[in-house]
């Protein structure tokens, strides 16, 4: 076996990490020291249902990928047995799934991550996990937009209705007299 094969494999891993970092909306780094293979499989399944992907790379290769993606601060989190969760779409749901998994498994420790080019601490990831889901936020926004329109429609309907009640009262008064 020549030394070129491992080098080519390492280059491929760095390119894969770079591509995943560039494609993801957010990336969370968590330490998994002490977790069994079954626990890691369960974690991957939970994150997949939330729209995330959990991958483990060698820290040096992941650091090179982070550097290539312009996320140099992420390399500081890649110390010890670290896994990366790539989130696309609903970032809050993925952060919530990761936080919930960390609550049930004491071996999983959230270190931080990035959202876009912004470096996140472990507390920032927790704050993201506390946000409502994307669908809930969109529903709240739609409700906020709808409220003034509903009030306006109610006022516009009240004018003719009140006028009709007034005319009916006037007619009833004339008939009674």
Domain that includes residue 105, residue range: 4-131
- Domain shared by 99 and 136, yes or no: no
The radius of gyration of the chain's CA atoms, rounded to the nearest angstrom, is 28
Check: CB of residue 113 under 8 Å from CB of residue 82: no
Q: Alpha helices, DSSP H only, in the chain?
A: 4-23, 37-50, 59-68, 91-104, 122-130, 134-176
Domain count, the chain: 2
- Domain shared by 111 and 140, yes or no: no
- pLDDT tens for each residue of 117-161: 788 888 888 887 877 666 777 777 777 777 777 777 777 777 777
- Domain shared by 69 and 156, yes or no: no
- pLDDT tens for each residue of 93-104: 888 888 888 888
- Domain shared by 126 and 173, yes or no: no
- Domain shared by 155 and 171, yes or no: yes
Backbone angles phi, psi at 115, to 5 degrees: -130, 110
- Domain shared by 149 and 162, yes or no: yes
């Amino acid at each position: 076996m020549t030394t070129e094969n491992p080098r080519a494999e390492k280059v491929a891993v760095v390119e894969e990490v770079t591509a995943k970092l560039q494609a993801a909306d957010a990336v969370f780094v968590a330490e998994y020291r002490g977790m069994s293979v079954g626990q890691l499989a369960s974690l991957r399944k939970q994150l997949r249902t939330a729209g995330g992907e959990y991958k483990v790379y060698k820290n040096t290769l992941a650091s090179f990928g982070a550097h290539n993606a312009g996320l140099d601060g992420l390399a500081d989190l890649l110390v010890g047995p670290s896994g990366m969760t790539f989130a696309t779409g609903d970032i809050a749901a993925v952060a919530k799934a990761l936080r919930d998994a960390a609550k049930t498994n004491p071996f999983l420790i959230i270190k931080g991550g990035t959202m876009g080019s912004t470096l996140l601490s472990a507390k920032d990831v927790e704050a993201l996990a506390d946000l409502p889901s994307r669908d809930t936020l969109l529903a709240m926004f739609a409700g906020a937009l709808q409220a003034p329109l509903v009030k306006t429609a109610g006022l516009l309907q009240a004018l003719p209705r009140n006028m009709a009640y007034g005319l009916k009262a006037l007619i009833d008064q004339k008939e009674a007299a």
